[in-house]
Amino acid sequence: MNTSLSDLTRYIAMLAAPNGYRATVRLLGGIHGSRVVLEARRRPSAATPEYSQEVSFDALERLGAAAIATRFDRAVRAALAAGKAREPASNRSVKG
């Protein structure tokens, strides 16, 4: 699982940098957590993320880090372009 999380972090970083946002990958529930929160900010000083999404480890294993990162990047760019307000992360969970 550690490799999948590392791959996800790497893919998201590669996609975020050229697209003008900063991304954070955060494990929920500490080392025994089963979900990851992906957050995006256009401005580093933003107090709250402009977009966030939860991903289960099951989805990460099933779909792969590259697919999850690509979906996240598309959703972030669409939300930032539309000026969409931040919604609760639970509304945007990745389902395989």
Q: Tens-of-pLDDT digits for all 96 residues of the chain?
A: 568 899 999 999 999 989 889 999 999 988 888 999 999 988 777 777 889 999 999 999 999 999 999 999 999 999 888 876 444 444 455 555
Strand partners, 52: 39
Question: Side by side, which strands form the sheet with 35-41?
Answer: 22-28, 35-41, 51-56
pTM exceeds 0.75: yes
Q: Which of 81, 82, 70 is nearest to 53 (CA)?
A: 70
Distance set, CA 70 to CA 26, 48, 63, 77 (Å): 17, 22, 11, 11
